[in-house]
Amino acid sequence: MLITELKSKEILDSLTQGKVFIINCHGCKEVSFPEKEAEEFEKALGDKVTGILTTDYVCNIDNLPLRLEKHAAAIEAADTVLVLSCGVGVQTVAEHLPGKRVCAACDTYALPGHQGVTPLEHECDQCGQCYLNITGGTCPITACSKSLVNGQCGGAKNGMCEVDPTMECGWERIMRKLKQVDRLDVLKCPIQLRQYNK
Ligand code: SF4
Ligand code: SF4
């Protein structure tokens, strides 16, 4: 079981400066989705919204490309694709829209109990403070062996992780994606602190 909760108004305001395309995931019954708050938030955005896709299981890579394709023009017209889902959904959308700024509108928290059975391409550790907005859509908690949130440890060799040489360094992936969307500037933000008490 996990819970998704809308990020603070301050963060949402900063993510919605330009035009926005919104993706709502209503998939997993194991996920608590802030449906009412999301509806109010989206309504308040008014004509900033180029389109809305409300669907189930955005993490389903068999269906997602077709769903995105149907909204291609509205996605193209948006500066940001804002995804309201757990961290897995946001990562999946980011992978399928490589040149686009894809942001997480929610934080994902863990709750005890059944975690669902969906086969997933990406991992979310339900850390409660989603970093995907500053890492270009790659989760630093699961893609980095040390779950570093402030950049590379310096131990990577030929792009591979020093802890697990069979995997690519997660921060190499993050830097590559940020470069691709011309957003390396986001790494100039203040040091990220993890909220262990949440
Ligand atoms: S940063 Fe990673 S672990 Fe934390 S909520 Fe986002 S996807 Fe999940
Ligand atoms: S080499 Fe990269 S993935 Fe491995 S621990 Fe260091 S920063 Fe993380």
Kindly report the protein residue whose alpha carbon is nearest to atom 2 of ligand 2: 169
| pLDDT recorded at residue 193 | 61
pLDDT at 52: 96
Probe ligand 2: pick from 135, 141, 148, max atoms within 8 Å of CB?
Answer: 148
Q: Output 178 or 117, whichever has higher pLDDT.
A: 178
Whether 82 has a pLDDT exceeding 60, the answer reads yes
Q: Which domains, from first to last, does the chain contain?
A: 2-133 (3.40.50)
Least confident window among 161-165, 166-170, 175-179: 175-179
- The answer, yes or no, to whether any atom of ligand 2 lies below 6 A from the CB of 22, is no
pLDDT tier for residue 90 given thresholds of 50, 70 and 90: very high
Tens-place pLDDT, residues 34-46: 888 999 999 999 9
Cα R_g (the chain), whole angstroms: 16
Highest mean pLDDT among 34-43, 133-142, 161-170: 161-170
Q: What's the mean pLDDT in 153-179? A: 94
Q: What is the whole-number distance in angstroms between the Cα of residue 151 and the centre of ligand 2?
A: 9
Residue nearest to atom 6 of ligand 2 (CA): 153
In angstroms, the CA 138 to CA 162 distance is 19
Q: Is the pLDDT of residue 141 over 80?
A: yes
Ligand 1 atom 7 nearest Cα: 87
pTM of the model: 0.88
Instruction: Name the closest-CA residue to atom 2, ligand 1.
Output: 139
> How far, in Å, is the centroid of ligand 1 from the Cα of 149?
11
Runs of H (alpha helix) within 113-196: 140-143, 170-180
Which tokens is 86 given?
A: 């757990």
Q: Could you tell me the pLDDT band of residue 186, with boundaries at 50, 70 and 90?
A: confident
| 29 pLDDT above the threshold of 90 | no
For the chain, give the percent of residues with pLDDT over 90: 62
Looking at per-residue confidence, does 183 or 85 come out higher? 85
Counting ligands in written order, the one closest to the CA of 171 is 2
* Residues 54-65, mean pLDDT to the nearest whole number: 90
Q: Are 50 and 74 in contact (CB under 8 A)?
A: yes
Q: Closest Cα to atom 5, ligand 1: which residue?
A: 130
One DSSP character per residue, 95-109 reads: HHSTTSEEEE-EEEE
Ranges assigned E (strand) in 41-181: 49-55, 80-84, 101-104, 106-110
